[in-house]
């Protein structure tokens, strides 16, 4: 029996690398595209340990249609996971055009290549809680039926991607689905994202390395889960019997301030002695609150997170302690 083949954009990112590991454990053959980086050592650092073990990569880009068509036409994958994106919300204010091209037009490029070269495959789009923006239900949650009012170029582009996937599903009878993922982190998260930024700085301070920590809005509340739990959800959504869209979240929120207090507390430090606010890290329009209702995926597919906020932050702290020690 032939192995199922999966194609992943953004395979060298946090989610892509965990997803590749998860699919290998389920005996998939995994393919992905990586964007060329002038520092070759960093290009595939998150998946170096997987090369030669069932993971194959080639250069490509969501904005280079020929690379997408070449790979999908040659591989003929069974499952396509479009995880690649300009993924930093704050930076989307600095590079709005690139963000929209990658996160909106890039989805359309993928869908067109998918439609023409392997329409029997299944397609997953990495949608985002940032699409909800300032819109919150009366009970404090955001769910599949919540109105979308994004507050960033990133969120706006993701709304387009979400809707164009639904359009292709209905217009072209494709198995195309959205996972509306709330914030998810891990030791593999880039250190310019707030979770790893906080953990890395706290560990350096604990070890006596010269460092301080400048943050933006410390009273922003987010629903933080672990990337490992969320890539499991992606695969479950793809293998559901009908194409559908699901919110993936923990249903628990914490503020950036609470996160600082917890992480520094793990190291017997008081965050107030080290953390300052820098206006350059504030967004042009702040998004104060996100909390997801994942009842649908829990009841329909039986998914539930294995990590808590606390165990995730502890894992990340131990990771950076090991690196610096």
Q: What is the pLDDT of residue 284?
A: 63
Q: What is the pLDDT of residue 49?
A: 85
Strand order in the sheet with 175-181: 55-59, 29-34, 5-9, 79-82, 122-128, 175-181, 245-248
Q: What is the pLDDT of residue 52?
A: 81
122 touches 175 (CB < 8 A): yes
Q: What is the pLDDT of residue 262?
A: 97
130 catalytic per annotation = yes
Selected catalytic residue, list 130, 141, 152, 221:
130
Q: What is the pLDDT of residue 206?
A: 95
Phi, psi of 247 (to 5 degrees): -80, 135
75 touches 5 (CB < 8 A): yes
Phi, psi of 5 (to 5 degrees): -110, 130
Selected catalytic residue, list 18, 124, 141, 154:
154
Q: What is the pLDDT of residue 40?
A: 66
Q: What is the pLDDT of residue 214?
A: 87
SS3 105: helix
Taking only the tens of pLDDT, the chain with its 325 residues reads 689 999 999 999 999 999 999 999 999 999 999 887 776 666 677 888 888 888 999 999 999 999 999 999 999 999 999 999 998 998 999 999 999 999 999 999 999 999 999 999 999 999 999 999 999 999 999 999 999 999 999 999 999 999 999 999 999 999 999 999 999 999 999 888 899 999 999 999 999 987 788 898 889 999 999 999 999 999 999 999 999 999 999 999 999 999 999 999 999 999 999 999 887 776 666 678 889 999 999 999 999 999 999 999 999 999 999 998 8
Selected catalytic residue, list 17, 92, 128, 249:
128
User: Distance of alpha carbon 255 from its chain centroid, rounded?
Assistant: 19
Tokens of 126: 């990495």
User: What are the angstrom distances between the C-alpha of 67 and each of 7, 52, 55, 70, 193?
Assistant: 13, 22, 18, 5, 29
């Amino acid at each position: 029996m032939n192995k199922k083949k999966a194609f992943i954009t953004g395979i060298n990112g946090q989610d892509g690398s965990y997803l590749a590991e998860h699919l290998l454990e389920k005996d998939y053959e995994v393919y992905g595209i990586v964007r060329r980086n002038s520092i070759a050592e960093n290009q595939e650092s998150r998946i170096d340990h997987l090369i030669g073990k069932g993971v194959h990569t080639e250069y490509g880009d969501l904005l280079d249609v020929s690379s997408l068509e070449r790979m999908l036409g040659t591989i003929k994958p069974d499952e396509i996971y479009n995880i690649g994106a300009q993924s930093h919300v704050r930076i989307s204010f600095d590079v709005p055009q690139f963000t929209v091209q990658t996160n909106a037009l890039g989805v359309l490029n993928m869908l067109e290549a998918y439609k023409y070269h392997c329409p029997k495959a299944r397609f997953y789009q990495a949608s985002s809680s940032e699409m909800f923006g300032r819109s919150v239900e009366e009970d404090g949650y955001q769910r599949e039926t919540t109105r979308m009012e994004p507050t960033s170029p990133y969120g706006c582009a993701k709304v387009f991607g979400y809707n164009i996937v639904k359009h292709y599903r209905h217009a072209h009878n494709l198995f195309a689905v959205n996972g509306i993922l709330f914030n998810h982190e891990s030791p593999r998260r880039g250190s310019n994202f707030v979770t790893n930024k906080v953990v890395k700085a706290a560990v350096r301070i604990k070890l006596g390395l010269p460092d301080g920590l400048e943050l933006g809005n410390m009273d922003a509340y987010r629903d933080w889960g672990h990337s490992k739990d969320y890539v499991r959800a992606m695969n479950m959504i793809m293998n559901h019997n009908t194409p559908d869209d699901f919110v993936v979240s923990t249903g628990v929120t914490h503020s950036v301030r609470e996160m600082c207090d917890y992480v520094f507390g793990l190291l017997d430090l008081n965050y107030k002695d080290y953390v300052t606010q820098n206006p350059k890290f504030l967004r042009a329009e702040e998004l104060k609150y996100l909390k997801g209702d994942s009842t649908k995926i829990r009841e329909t597919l039986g998914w539930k997170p294995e990590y808590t906020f606390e165990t995730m932050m502890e894992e990340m702290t131990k990771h950076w302690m090991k690196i610096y020690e």
